[in-house]
Amino acid sequence: MSGVTIYQVAREAGVSPSTVSNFLNGRPGRMLPQTRTRVADAIDRLGYRPNRAARQLRTGRIQVVGLVVPSVANPFWGNFARYLERAALADGYHVLLCNSEREPDRERRYLEELWADGIRGVVLCSSLPSLNHVLPLVEAGLSLVAFDRTAQAGDPGTLVNISVDNVVGAHLATAHLLELGHRRIAFVSGSLRSVNRRERFRGFTDALEQAGLDPAEAIVWSGGAEQEPYGDLDAAGLGRTAAHELLQSDYRPTAIVAINDMCALGISAGIRDAGLRVGEDVSVVGFDDIVLADLAAPPLTTVRQPIGDMAAAAFRHLLSRIDEAEASPSQSLLLRPELVVRASTGPAPEPRE
Amino acid sequence: MSGVTIYQVAREAGVSPSTVSNFLNGRPGRMLPQTRTRVADAIDRLGYRPNRAARQLRTGRIQVVGLVVPSVANPFWGNFARYLERAALADGYHVLLCNSEREPDRERRYLEELWADGIRGVVLCSSLPSLNHVLPLVEAGLSLVAFDRTAQAGDPGTLVNISVDNVVGAHLATAHLLELGHRRIAFVSGSLRSVNRRERFRGFTDALEQAGLDPAEAIVWSGGAEQEPYGDLDAAGLGRTAAHELLQSDYRPTAIVAINDMCALGISAGIRDAGLRVGEDVSVVGFDDIVLADLAAPPLTTVRQPIGDMAAAAFRHLLSRIDEAEASPSQSLLLRPELVVRASTGPAPEPRE
DNA sequence: ATGAAAGCGCTAACAT
DNA sequence: ATGTTAGCGCTTTCAT
């Protein structure tokens, strides 16, 4: 402990504890200028630092929000965490980070822990279609901002959803490949249950349909539907495996839409493993635009999420929910993604045989 | 709030609050089996969850440790954070994550905040040679484990240092290049002041000397000595710039030792920008072995840090420091790195002209 | 084996 | 303008 209490400060300054408290809580107008100076001096001299536990116990408030991500080992989430922290810090808040590893049970346990710690606002990065596992907490009063997950039918009535427009994003990616002349396009992802996977898949099939192709004939790889949940760390391994399998099939795709950049980088590695050239023999599009997309060889064409804006929006909404006495109605914020064309995509190769 | 207090539980169970408290604090032996059951039932029925603020206020203890990293946007740190969380969780601890962006002032402010929050143990990932800016906190009783930074002369007497053996690591990397026949080898890093940069540089020059080369003639690129602190995010950009500059110089290196993997990936991109082939025209070695090292094209030869072991060790040491009444003397733990040879390094090309 | 009661440091109503 | 005071929920002596 710093050990110094407001009582000691009060005695040192020759005032009462409540005056010190008033000073600390932004109500310096309630005292004479000279008193204010005396208190400030005493605080300095004693090196006083408020005890947050006591403050929290008394007020019930705490300047911490929770952040639950699948895994910070994925650079996309690491980056998001950093932006969220930046936004929080500007308002004097801390961020308590939790890795769910995409396990619903861990998500629930984490939210319960955070709640028990007095944290009243959490940004939950979950792509699960149902939020039933955390519903009791929300009903108890936990403010929740769901990130990377659009609103679903059964959602609690007070949820804020912040996400990129996945349908549009995947549509952009797929349309880009179609324009390049590709017709045998594969879609690669892990878990089928994730909300953004569904949406990105829809953007994918929509684009195919618009081009007059039959989505039913599209090549879809999901690593065996039962294999889930899968860790984020394995997104890359997943992509690599997918590439291996897809490329030795008879009906080999000339282009692949990946569920995210880590997966796309794995796919690219798998394509090279097979002795083929990325962007020439096989084109690859990712999703996210992590820093490494631009460093890859060839640089990865991808759909950029405006991650800084999204993090700022997430925190802003969270804060307003926490502060407001009564829960405002649910809303969704859908940000527009942007296609970033690099060298991992190129014209469809001439048909063989 | 969950709102339920031990008083309510006590009334529901027909016992006193202290009995409930005893039950909660692992002293069930102090009551009759039937009492124990009644309390357990009451807790279940009411959905009681202890209020941590109250517990902390009373005991002064809190089950949270701090983690200060340069930036989770760097996958190495994201991965480390995840491993540390895993270790902490196993002991019922949470991890409060802070990004210092390599700014000493942010490091200090964060540690002060953590201290004020009642947190008594922090893993500080700083590569600054001096820890003077946080000395007051350590003297006040903050348990500090310095990560990725070996012990320095002026360090506080109670510090635990956990790091990979940087000298050995860089030596391995450089010796590998020398064996491949390289003689014009460059060393690329950012800030000159960081401890691990110094050590890795020493491993580099040691290896050159052992091979009979004059380290004074080694090519060293540091982005302009005054340019610091630099963010981790820019490690890649830094490497890319370095490659551009080094490759258009007269005395062009045939191999480059990078301060870390992100930097190495940037260098690789820069080599390609110049129309050269990584691993053939110019070899590159990284440091860390992040997941993406294996996915790069060509896959990156690098020095692996045993990050899982290091994270577990960091938490273990931290916990023992926090628990012990009196500070045990300082110690350092230096883990052995391992060279992972991939395709970004190859035989030195025949001298031109 | 169980209970009563004090107090951790702070804030905010309510005095003065 | 400033002071007094009653708790917030919990743990922990010290009774019984």
**pLDDT at residue number B224:** 64
- Which residues from B are below 8 Å from A60, CB to CB? 1
Q: Tell me whether residues A56 and B60 touch, CB distance under 8 A.
A: no
**pLDDT at residue number A1:** 46
Candidates B178, B146, B140; CA nearest to B162 is B146
Helices (H), B193-279: 195-210, 235-247, 261-273
B55 touches strand D (CB under 7 A): yes
| One-letter amino acid for residue B168 of the chain | V
Suggest the residue from A295, A300, A322, A344 to mutate for an interface test with chain B (most B CBs closer than 10 A): A295
With a pLDDT cut of 70, the percent of chain A lying above it is 95
Closest Cα in chain B to A264: B295
For the stretch A191-201, pLDDT in tens is: 788 899 999 99
Interatomic separation, CA of residue A2 and C1' of nucleotide C9, rounded (Å): 12
- How many residues are present in chain A? 353
Chain B span 47-66 residues with beta carbon within 7 Å of strand C: 54, 57-58
- Residue B101 in this model has a pLDDT that exceeds 60: yes
Which is more confident, B327 or A275?
A275
Say which residues have a Cβ less than 8 Å from residue B70's Cβ, sequence separation at least 6. B77, B99, B100, B101, B102, B125, B126, B127, B231, B232
- Which residues from A are below 8 Å from B233, CB to CB? 291
Candidates B289, B196, B72, B151; CA nearest to A69 is B72
Suggest the residue from A2, A62, A82 to mutate for an interface test with chain B (most B CBs closer than 10 A): A82
Q: Which residue's alpha carbon is at the shortest distance from the C1' of C8?
A: B58
- Inter-chain Cβ pairs, chain A and chain B, closer than 8 A: 143
**pLDDT at residue number A231:** 46
Which is more confident, A175 or B159?
A175
**pLDDT at residue number A339:** 98
| CA–CA distances in Å: residue A218 to residues A50, A177, A205, A230, A312 | 61, 13, 8, 23, 37
Angle between helices B261-273 and B235-247 (to 10 degrees): 40
Q: Which residue's alpha carbon is at the shortest distance from the C1' of D8?
A: A58
- CATH class entry, domain A166-305: alpha beta
For the stretch B8-56, pLDDT in tens is: 899 889 998 888 898 888 777 778 888 888 888 998 988 888 888 898 8
Reported as a pLDDT band with limits 50, 70 and 90, residue A29 is confident
Reported as a pLDDT band with limits 50, 70 and 90, residue B225 is low
**pLDDT at residue number B47:** 86
Q: Tell me whether residues A49 and B140 touch, CB distance under 8 A.
A: no
Reported as a pLDDT band with limits 50, 70 and 90, residue B350 is confident
**pLDDT at residue number A230:** 44
DSSP state of A37: H
- Which residues from A are below 8 Å from B112, CB to CB? 49
Q: Which residue's alpha carbon is at the shortest distance from the C1' of C1?
A: B31
User: How many whole angstroms separate alpha carbon A233 and alpha carbon A262?
Assistant: 8
Identical topology for domains A61-165+308-337 and A166-305: yes
Tokens representing A112 are 């319960």
User: Residue-wise over B129-161: b if at least 16 C-beta within 10 A, else e?
Assistant: bebeebeebbeeebbbbbbbbbbeeebbebbbb
For the stretch A92-104, pLDDT in tens is: 888 998 999 888 9
- Which residues from A are below 8 Å from B272, CB to CB? 297
Cis peptide before A215 (omega within 30 of 0): no
For the stretch B266-312, pLDDT in tens is: 999 999 999 999 999 999 999 999 999 999 999 999 999 999 999 99
**pLDDT at residue number B279:** 97
Angle between helices A17-24 and A33-46 (to 10 degrees): 90
Q: Mean pLDDT over all residues of chain B?
A: 89
DSSP state of A278: B
Suggest the residue from B69, B91, B295 to mutate for an interface test with chain A (most A CBs closer than 10 A): B295
For the stretch A293-329, pLDDT in tens is: 999 999 999 999 999 999 999 999 998 888 775 666 7
> CA of A6 to nearest chain B CA: how many angstroms apart?
14
Q: Tell me whether residues B49 and A112 touch, CB distance under 8 A.
A: yes
Interatomic separation, CA of residue A261 and C1' of nucleotide C9, rounded (Å): 49
Tokens representing B2 are 């969950």
| CA–CA distances in Å: residue B13 to residues B16, B28, B43, B52, B187 | 8, 15, 8, 22, 69
- Which residues from A are below 8 Å from B343, CB to CB? none
Which is more confident, B234 or B101?
B101
- Residue A127 in this model has a pLDDT that exceeds 90: no
Lowest mean per-residue pLDDT among A72-81, A158-167, B17-26: B17-26
> CA of B282 to nearest chain A CA: how many angstroms apart?
15
What nucleotide is nearest A31 when CA is compared to C1'? D1
> CA of B101 to nearest chain A CA: how many angstroms apart?
10
- Which residues from B are below 8 Å from A81, CB to CB? 72, 78, 97
Report the relative pairing of strands A283-288 and A301-304 from DSSP bridges: parallel
Helices (H), B281-323: 307-323
Say which residues have a Cβ less than 8 Å from residue A168's Cβ, sequence separation at least 6. A203, A336, A337
Stretch A97-112: mean pLDDT = 90
Q: Tell me whether residues B291 and A236 touch, CB distance under 8 A.
A: yes
Reported as a pLDDT band with limits 50, 70 and 90, residue A51 is confident
B24 touches strand D (CB under 7 A): yes
- Which residues from B are below 8 Å from A116, CB to CB? 2, 49-52
Dihedral of CA atoms A207, A208, A209, A211 in degrees, nearest 10, equals 90
Contact status, residue A260 vs residue A234, Cβ threshold 8 Å:
no
Which is more confident, B337 or B20?
B337
- Residue A156 in this model has a pLDDT that exceeds 50: yes
Give residue limits of the domains in chain A: 6-56, 61-165+308-337, 166-305
Reported as a pLDDT band with limits 50, 70 and 90, residue A352 is low
| φ, ψ at A158 (rounded to 5°) | -115, 15
Q: Tell me whether residues B292 and A236 touch, CB distance under 8 A.
A: yes
A118 touches strand C (CB under 7 A): no
| CA–CA distances in Å: residue A99 to residues A76, A137, A190, A214, B97 | 13, 18, 18, 39, 12
Question: The whole model's pTM is what?
Answer: 0.90
**pLDDT at residue number B261:** 97
Q: Mean pLDDT over all residues of chain A?
A: 89
Strand C footprint nucleotides (protein C-beta < 7 Å): 1-5, 7-13
Stretch A254-270: mean pLDDT = 97
Reported as a pLDDT band with limits 50, 70 and 90, residue B232 is very low
User: How many whole angstroms separate alpha carbon A308 and alpha carbon B112?
Assistant: 27
Candidates B170, B241, B238; CA nearest to B210 is B170
Interatomic separation, CA of residue A38 and C1' of nucleotide C5, rounded (Å): 37
**pLDDT at residue number A343:** 97
Cross-chain CB nearest to A97 (options B71, B95, B278): B95
Interatomic separation, CA of residue B337 and C1' of nucleotide D11, rounded (Å): 47
Angle between helices B33-46 and B17-24 (to 10 degrees): 90
> CA of B229 to nearest chain A CA: how many angstroms apart?
17
Lowest mean per-residue pLDDT among B76-80, B205-209, B220-224: B220-224
Lowest mean per-residue pLDDT among A24-28, A236-240, B144-148: A24-28
**pLDDT at residue number B129:** 87
Stretch A275-284: mean pLDDT = 97
Reported as a pLDDT band with limits 50, 70 and 90, residue B331 is confident
> CA of A1 to nearest chain B CA: how many angstroms apart?
7
For the stretch B321-330, pLDDT in tens is: 887 756 667 7
CATH architecture of B61-165+308-337: 3-Layer(aba) Sandwich (3.40)
Cross-chain CB nearest to B72 (options A2, A78, A116): A78
Which is more confident, A207 or A57?
A207
User: How many whole angstroms separate alpha carbon A136 and alpha carbon A144?
Assistant: 12
Tokens representing A3 are 């050990």
Q: Where are the beta strands (DSSP E) in A169-212?
A: 185-188
Cross-chain CB nearest to B82 (options A71, A75, A265): A71
Cross-chain CB nearest to B56 (options A53, A77, A99): A53
Stretch A37-65: mean pLDDT = 88
H or E, element range at A61? none
The CATH superfamily assigned to A6-56 is lambda repressor-like DNA-binding domains (1.10.260.40)
B25 touches strand D (CB under 7 A): yes
Chain B span 230-259 residues with beta carbon within 7 Å of strand D: none
- Which residues from B are below 8 Å from A298, CB to CB? 297
- Residue B81 in this model has a pLDDT that exceeds 80: yes
What nucleotide is nearest A51 when CA is compared to C1'? C9
Reported as a pLDDT band with limits 50, 70 and 90, residue A2 is low
User: How many whole angstroms separate alpha carbon A205 and alpha carbon B209?
Assistant: 61
**pLDDT at residue number A224:** 64
Q: Tell me whether residues A94 and B113 touch, CB distance under 8 A.
A: yes
**pLDDT at residue number B91:** 87
User: How many whole angstroms separate alpha carbon A269 and alpha carbon A276?
Assistant: 10
Give CA B241 to chain center in angstroms.
Answer: 25
| CA–CA distances in Å: residue B170 to residues A127, B167, B280 | 41, 5, 21
Residue with tokens 């895994």: A71
Stretch A185-211: mean pLDDT = 93
**pLDDT at residue number B212:** 96
B5 touches strand C (CB under 7 A): no
Q: Tell me whether residues B269 and A297 touch, CB distance under 8 A.
A: yes
Contact status, residue A132 vs residue A155, Cβ threshold 8 Å:
no
For the stretch B185-207, pLDDT in tens is: 999 998 788 899 999 999 999 99
User: Could you tell me the maximum CA-CA distance found in chain A, to the nearest angstrom?
Assistant: 94
Tokens representing B154 are 């002026």
Lowest mean per-residue pLDDT among A107-116, A229-238, B26-35: A229-238
- Residue A215 in this model has a pLDDT that exceeds 80: yes
